[in-house]
Amino acid sequence: MSLLLGAADSPHRFGHVSNFGHNGRMDAVPRFRYHPDPIGTGSVRPSNERCEVCGRISGNAYIGPVYSAMVDSPVVCIGCVADGTAAARWTASFTDGHPWAANVSEEIADEVLTRTPGFSGWQQEQWMVHCDDAAIFLGPVGAPELARFPAGATEALRDDLATSTRWPAAEIAGYISSLQSDGMPTGYLFQCRHCETFLGYTDSL
Ligand SMILES: [Zn+2]
Ligand SMILES: [Zn+2]
């Protein structure tokens, strides 16, 4: 148990820890081009529960949204998200497709919706689109995390707020400085795979 708690306390490093799980290992987290660090973003965590799809104890669990009429908060390993078996089993998606999925090809929408880990926001999450492609999800961000990105990341959130709220600049700046990755309000940061433009939005309850 102490190993589990210790690992959960340092999620960014967990992907490199091999001594976890009932058999001493955690399966490697597959590569997701639209969500490259699902452990860092909090959508995958260490787990010793048995996956309801493959029946294995993979050492990890997907903990983001599962949209399905057939299951409610199932235990599913990240491998069964990656290969599409979880989505097929439960006619599920891991992100809501409205309205962004209509702006990319069916293949891209399908990959993000059914073979890519989603993320949990305070409101209905939105996947962002740029250059006719789904963008890369970089994670939930607060002001401290945002400061570690190039200025374009903050500008993306500022632009989104300016459009959606019409607040004066000082109010927007104050709101951005109040963002928290694990509290409210929260920013959600994306980046275009093609032109590298940052994209993002914020929400709270
Ligand atoms: Zn599985
Ligand atoms: Zn772009």
| Distance from the alpha carbon of residue 58 to the mean position of ligand 1, in angstroms | 7
Over the stretch 123-144, which tens digit does the pLDDT of each residue have? 999 999 999 999 999 999 999 9
Per-residue pLDDT of 83-104, as tens digits, reads: 999 999 999 999 999 999 999 9
What is the average pLDDT across 18-36?
Answer: 73
pTM for the model: 0.87
Determine the Cα–Cα distance for residues 59 and 102; give it in Å rounded to an integer.
Answer: 35
The span from the CA of 133 to the CA of 155, in Å, is 21
Out of 5-19, 49-63, 92-106, 147-161, pick the least confident. Answer: 5-19
Q: How confident is the model at residue 24 (pLDDT cuts 50, 70, 90)?
A: low
Q: Is the pLDDT of residue 10 over 60?
A: no
| pLDDT tens sequence across 174-200 | 999 999 999 999 999 999 999 999 999
For residues 179 and 30, give the distance between their C-alpha atoms in angstroms, rounded to a whole number: 30
Residue from 185, 181, 180, 190 nearest 203 by CA: 185
The closest ligand to the CA of 193 turns out to be: 2
90 compared with 4, residue with greater pLDDT = 90
Q: How many CB atoms lie within 10 A of CB 37?
A: 18
Among the bound ligands, the one closest to the CA of 53: 1
The protein residues having their C-beta less than 5 angstroms from ligand 1 (an ion) are 51, 53-54, 77, 80
Ligand nearest to the CA of 82: 1
Domain-by-domain residue ranges, the chain? 1-120, 123-205
Report the percent of the chain where pLDDT is more than 70. Answer: 88
Contact criterion met (CB below 8 Å) for 149 and 156: no
Per the prediction, the chain carries an average pLDDT of 89
Which ligand has an atom closest to residue 132 CA? 2
At 44, is the pLDDT very low, low, confident or very high (cuts 50, 70, 90)? very high
Of 189, 96, 184, 109, the residue nearest 150 (C-alpha): 189
